[in-house]
């Protein structure tokens, strides 16, 4: 008989100048370097603090940054898969309209 994998959800998030730190529903805390997520790295403190848990804890969203991270990807150690072209376009739009 195959066992179902245990689903672990995000319950809290902290982003600082060095890392994204996620508290999980099973009591663990995981972290990843902020360099893995260029949109978070380019965000200011207030933008980094405006996150929401989505999918019942399966992911984290920063609406203002158009950034979504999955708990599964964080647990696997997977950095952002965004292309350089997409990131460059986002950075250019951000510089052109800094108050949005």
Q: Cα–Cα distance between 61 and 67 in angstroms, integer? A: 6
- 10-96: CATH topology: NE0471 N-terminal domain-like (3.30.2020)
Tally Cβ neighbours within 10 Å of residue 29. 11
Go through 41-67 and write b for each residue having 16 or more CB atoms within 10 A of its CB, e for each that does not.
bebeeebbeebebeeeeebbbbeebeb
Place of tokens 């360099």: 35
| pTM of model > 0.95 | no
- pLDDT tens track for 10-63: 999 999 999 999 999 999 999 999 999 999 999 999 999 999 999 999 999 999
**DSSP symbols for 44-64:** -HHHHH--EEEGGGTEEEEGG
Q: Cα–Cα distance between 100 and 89 in angstroms, integer? A: 15
**Which is more confidently placed, 86 or 3?**
86
């Amino acid at each position: 008989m195959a066992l179902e994998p245990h689903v672990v959800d995000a319950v809290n998030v902290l982003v600082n100048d060095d890392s994204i730190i996620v508290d999980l529903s099973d009591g663990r805390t995981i972290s990843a370097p902020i360099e893995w997520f260029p949109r978070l790295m380019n965000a200011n403190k207030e933008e980094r603090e405006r996150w929401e848990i989505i999918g019942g804890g399966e992911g984290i969203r920063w609406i203002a940054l158009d950034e979504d991270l999955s708990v599964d990807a964080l647990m696997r150690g997977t950095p952002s898969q965004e292309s350089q072209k997409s990131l460059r376009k986002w950075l250019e739009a951000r510089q052109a309209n800094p108050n949005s």
